[in-house]
Structure 1
Amino acid sequence: MQIKTISEVLLENVVIHDVALASIRQCISVLDAQAKDLIEEIQNSDFEASGAIFVRLHEIQTVLAKVSFQHNISLGPRLDDFVREFDRLDEPFIREYWHSKFIAGGVWPTSE
């Protein structure tokens, strides 16, 4: 049996970390695109029909919040804004607020 040195173990773990981080970044990018698509769907829906869309949007926000706050992975300014702005999408009056904004032509991210 071969005994690995601490240096070898460290280098192996760095490679694993790099692969995992690349995969995490890809997943974050997909969630970003999905959020944009969902917001476009909300813009084309009446409030009642947008309920399930808001549920999915809130699910994305929740996952990104965990990635950011529990695992300390940077999302970037736009997704940081997304996590902050859509934190309370479980509240009907917040959904109404955002629905009216999106119907009026508002977009997210607001900085673009």
Structure 2
Amino acid sequence: MTPSDFARILTAGLPDVVHSPGALTRKRLIDKLPPEPVRTPQAAAPAAPRRLMECTGCRTPGRPEALPGGLCRPCRGDLSDEPPGPTEAEIHSRVERLRAAVRAVR
């Protein structure tokens, strides 16, 4: 509600004589204020609860979509999807290049 809406609501239809301004204001505030906005159940409730399952082979916890057929990747024998990580030499090489770039900027 904007201040101009508030003033318009309080001053619209004033009686000719006002004996108690405080009582009149209180009555108008109570009677003329708009109702509070209704919250929709979707906005009030959180999204779907998170669910965890366990692998039926090794009992490792995981999300349902990560356990097709109730088995985790190692229990399914499906390790080929995982990309190999960088080797220790590659990591050291990258760090040295980053350090050199920082020194060059200074």
Taking structure 1 as the reference length, what is the TM-score of the superposition? 0.21
For the pair shown, which has the larger CA radius of gyration, 1 or 2?
Answer: 2
Higher helix share: 1
Q: Which has the higher contact order (CA 8 A, sep 6+)?
A: 1
Taking structure 2 as the reference length, what is the TM-score of the superposition? 0.22
